[in-house]
Structure 1
Amino acid sequence: MKNLNTVVLFSIVLIGIYAASVQGDEHSTKPCLPYSVKLSDLNLQQPPRRVLLVPLLSGELDSNQNPRWPEQPARLLEAFYRHRFNTTVKLLSDVWSWSDYYRQVEQLLQQGSSFDRIIFISHGGYDGPILKNAVYLQEQNTTGSTINMLQFSEAQPGLKNVLSITYDTEKNRQFSDYMASHWKDLASMEFDAVWQQLTGFEKQIQPLDNSCYQRYCSIEKLALRPPQQREYQQHLCELICRKPLFEIKQSVELSPERFFRFTTSLNSILNADGLIFFGACNPGSISPKIKVQKDETELLINSTLAGGPHMSYVDLVSEASGHITSGSVGDSSGEDVVKRIMLFETNHPQHHLCIVVPGIN
């Protein structure tokens, strides 16, 4: 009786969801299949026998949002699949970084697990699901007395964030010793925090050029400035009149190796007639075609990866993996993700998903 009541409840929910869904916003259907397409029109395992749910735990920056918010929609979907289709459901836990994800996928491989659906629930953008930026590699290169320390991190598979710190070991022994002992600690820090820590230490050990400082920031010079500008002027003088001990830079670069590692992980545990689903904001949205700079978004879908550029992230992953791939169009909450998957799995068309079949768009 309990299972019957659950099925009835899901049926009532689905009726309400479908009634609301058909009123959805219209979006361009390229490269997506028409919105009239239903699950029964696709070469997918129906009903799914095994489902993998991947809640990616990462709160919005500068917000009080619970970083575990994806777990709630994941639990709702777990109950839906179990009660509606008697599906075996695996839910990954504590995925805070892509390293966490790859480690758990490797465990699934060792167990011989495979799935008919892989569903991500997370924050996202035009270049796919987003986790907190996490370091995956640190390198050190030495040329003579010059050391270049490189730190590679990622928040989205395929986008490599590079932090570069260069310094001369002959300039200041204290700074060189500090870098040697603190380099590993920087892996847990954001760029601004790294910059502040290093400039703070530099300020302690590297004296100002007094003649330079007096030239630009003497009491007489500051008196000529409006009061609200004096503190900023002093800050500039300290930057200009202190001989720098290091150079720090950051950049965002395309990393085909990291992107294809991600799609390979999907292929390794997804059955041939399986579906990849991205429950996030904009993986199915068509990105505006603009000239992309290195520090902008849409690097992945505007690249030549998998025969690109591509109209959307869903299109890119579908072509790269060879699997039918789907994702939300526009902004999506956790509740939206649950509704859209329920509609899809119960063979209803809707206006909020982009579905791409590899090779035909």
Structure 2
Amino acid sequence: MIIPLLRKDPGSAENERWAERPAAQIEAFYRTRFSANVARLRDIRLWEDYYRETAVEMRKSAPFDRVILIGHGGYDGPILNGHIVASALTVEGAQAKATRIAEAQPGLEETVTISYDVGQNRDFSRFMESRWNRLSKKDPAEIRKILLNSERRLQPLDLACMERQCPAEAFVSLPDDSDREIKRAACESVCRNPLFLWRSSDEIAPERFRTFVRSLSSLTAQDGLIVLGMCNPGSDVPERESPWDVGGALVHSNLASGPHQTYVHLLAAAAARTVAGPIGKTSAEDVVRRITGFEERRPQRNLRIVAPATRCSP
């Protein structure tokens, strides 16, 4: 089974369907080289799509020898568009709080909270009241960009502060426009009274991780292989120095008797299946080369393969 995960990185020009091309090439390889029956899932944009479509496949097919996921990934596994678990805008007295909890990686919930004083700027408060429902469906990076643009539009700069922080002569020695823009943005962040406080954190949702693992285990034969065709599932995860560090929350958790060395180790231990995934970054072309090379037993580097009995030290 081949599962292209349809997602484009926010701010990039890539097509969300980029994973379908390597999926088609890999499907053709298995059909031609091994005369294999190959199932391919389509239009998987959210994890709810994945669970719905895999449930259909499990009812009509025996477990697969290979289950291959192709898409964006990271230290904590495959990434899809964030499924909104919860969203709310609440007001208590003069304080308002907008909350968005979403799952882009199975078992990892990203919580964003936006706090503000409803009386500080009435226009901003009305903006949040009228737009939050639509805003909450966007990627956090896009939400923050929209809010900052709104803040710039609605909250005037302290001009005296700007004169102190960014006098004209401060820009003379800067070599190009981009440096001057960075300097100006830094000054404005100091000289504009902020309208909101942004907080973001990752929380582990063990049961949702176990749901994903049960799905993969059911799809994959006992002696089969799960392949993660994406960046970093086989990469060693640096020790997190604080809860705000990016990546590795699942790997460093106690899931499946963790912590584990990599996401490949974690998934192999949790699913009781052999798992393979690249070490470091990869591309669509690399995914095709790695899978065909593995099946044809050609030597290659930077592909981590972990059997379920292989465990890292706790």
Shorter-normalised TM-score: what interval? 0.7 to 0.9
Kindly tell me: are residues 183 and 331 of structure 1, through their superposed partners in 2, closer, same or farther at Cα, counting changes over 3 Å? closer
C-alpha contact (below 8 Å) 1:252/1:295 kept by paired residues: no
2:234 aligned to 277, 280, 284, which one? 284
Residue 210 of structure 2: aligned partner: 260
Q: CA deviation at 1:186?
A: 0.7
Q: Give deviations 1:112-163, integer Å, cap 9, x for gaps.
A: 6642321112233332223355644313445444332211234332333222
For residues 223 and 285 of structure 1, the distance between their equivalents in structure 2, rounded to whole angstroms, comes to 43
Residue 175 of structure 2: aligned partner: none
Q: CA deviation at 1:234?
A: 7.9
For residues 135 and 293 of structure 1, the distance between their equivalents in structure 2, rounded to whole angstroms, comes to 22
For residues 225 and 63 of structure 2, the distance between their equivalents in structure 1, rounded to whole angstroms, comes to 12
C-alpha contact (below 8 Å) 1:292/1:299 kept by paired residues: no
Q: CA deviation at 1:81?
A: 2.2
2:30 is the alignment partner of 1:81: yes
Equivalent pairs counted in the alignment come to 303
Residue 177 of structure 2: aligned partner: none
Q: CA deviation at 1:318?
A: 0.7
Instruction: Give SS of 1:119's match.
Output: strand
C-alpha contact (below 8 Å) 2:237/2:247 kept by paired residues: no
5+ residue gaps, structure 2: 173-179
Instruction: Give SS of 2:26's match.
Output: helix
Q: Give deviations 1:82-118, integer Å, cap 9, x for gaps.
A: 2333322111112233333233223334556642321
Instruction: Give SS of 2:39's match.
Output: strand
Q: CA deviation at 1:289?
A: 4.6
For residues 5 and 137 of structure 2, the distance between their equivalents in structure 1, rounded to whole angstroms, comes to 19
C-alpha contact (below 8 Å) 2:101/2:112 kept by paired residues: yes
Residue 289 of structure 2: aligned partner: 339
Kindly tell me: are residues 231 and 130 of structure 1, through their superposed partners in 2, closer, same or farther at Cα, counting changes over 3 Å? closer
Equivalent residues in 2 for 1:203-218, closer than 5 Å: 213=158, 215-217=160-162
2:44 is the alignment partner of 1:95: yes
C-alpha contact (below 8 Å) 1:292/1:298 kept by paired residues: no
Further displaced range: 329-338 or 309-318? 329-338
TM-score normalised by structure 1 residue count: 0.69
Q: CA deviation at 1:170?
A: 4.9
C-alpha contact (below 8 Å) 1:217/1:233 kept by paired residues: no
For residues 312 and 235 of structure 1, the distance between their equivalents in structure 2, rounded to whole angstroms, comes to 38
Kindly tell me: are residues 358 and 145 of structure 1, through their superposed partners in 2, closer, same or farther at Cα, counting changes over 3 Å? same
Amino acid corresponding to residue 31 of structure 2 in structure 1: R
5+ residue gaps, structure 1: 1-51
Q: CA deviation at 1:53?
A: 0.2
Amino acid corresponding to residue 297 of structure 1 in structure 2: G
For residues 195 and 22 of structure 2, the distance between their equivalents in structure 1, rounded to whole angstroms, comes to 49
2:250 is the alignment partner of 1:300: yes
Amino acid corresponding to residue 158 of structure 1 in structure 2: G
Amino acid corresponding to residue 151 of structure 1 in structure 2: R
For residues 222 and 332 of structure 1, the distance between their equivalents in structure 2, rounded to whole angstroms, comes to 43
Residue 53 of structure 1: aligned partner: 2
Kindly tell me: are residues 332 and 240 of structure 1, through their superposed partners in 2, closer, same or farther at Cα, counting changes over 3 Å? closer
Q: CA deviation at 1:194?
A: 2.7
1:194 aligned to 133, 138, 143, which one? 143
Amino acid corresponding to residue 216 of structure 1 in structure 2: C
Q: CA deviation at 1:182?
A: 0.8
